[in-house]
Amino acid sequence: MTRARARKPRAILFDVLETLVRLEPLRERFVEVGRPEHELELFFARTLRDGMAYTLSGEAPPFREVAAAQLALTSGHTLNTGQIEYVLDGFTQLPLQPDGRRALDPVSEAGVPAYGFTHGSADVLERALEREGLRDRIVRVLSTREIGIFKPPARAYHWACERTATRPEATALVAVHSWDTSGAARAGLLAGFATRLEGRLPTIAEPPHVTAEGVDEVVADLLALPD
């Protein structure tokens, strides 16, 4: 699905967690510290919720600080500091998503600069790419921790466009989170939504410019847009 008048992007921003990088391996660390593996989803959802709430109130703490607080809460305050740090250290050991990995070469071959775009640490994606010999596929990982906010306020996307030196309408955001692509579209960016995680676009979300199941398919459709 593409909107009329959408144009091939001059830069692509890739969301990191769950879009390019798999969260699933963190379950093992939950189990290793004595927590049930299903707490991963609750912990991650609460971390995003509170990061966004702190953003609305004025300024968000760094992702790791929010995550540490939510991990303590989610575990019923049964984890000690060392156990919390052990779970959170797992973020820098996460692997790439298969469809995310497949999306990187076509972007590079098309000569379109690609960036990671996260509210977490740049290390998460950088280390995943380095382990697979793909670090050169991404120009840079942009983290909104530099401006003290979480996505999806418009200023987060506009800040990223300033860093890539591209206009919003010439910059694409690719994500598996509909709240992220909705925020990008409302901020005037091209939005590419991969349904792999959510299954379909919620009716309340701002429609993206491109929708497909996999991240690689979304990228292919974005690159196929007219110049």
Q: Given pLDDT bands bounded at 50, 70 and 90, which one contains residue 91?
A: very high
Which pLDDT score is estimated for 81?
A: 97
Q: 26-93: which CATH topology?
A: DNA polymerase; domain 1 (1.10.150)
Distant-in-sequence, close-in-space partners of 73: CB < 8 Å, separation ≥ 6:
46
Q: 11-22+94-223: which CATH topology?
A: Rossmann fold (3.40.50)
Which pLDDT score is estimated for 3?
A: 47
- pLDDT(2) > 80: no
- pLDDT(219) > 80: yes
Would you list the domain boundaries of the chain? 11-22+94-223, 26-93
The DSSP code sequence of the chain is: -B-TT----SEEEEE-BTTTB--TTHHHHHHHTT--TTHHHHHHHHHHHHHHHHHHHT-PPPHHHHHHHHHHHHTTS-S-HHHHHHHHHGGGGPPBPHHHHHHHHHHHHTT--EEEEESS-HHHHHHHHHHTT-GGG-SEEEEGGGGT--S-SHHHHHHHHHHHT--GGGEEEEES-HHHHHHHHHTT-EEEEETTTTSS--TTSPPPSEEESSHHHHHHHHHTS--
- pLDDT(4) > 60: no
Contact 192, 219 (CB under 8 A): yes
Distant-in-sequence, close-in-space partners of 223: CB < 8 Å, separation ≥ 6:
8, 106, 107, 110, 112
Percent of the chain residues topping a pLDDT of 70:
98
Q: Given pLDDT bands bounded at 50, 70 and 90, which one contains residue 6?
A: confident
| Interatomic CA distance for residues 14 and 165, integer angstroms | 16
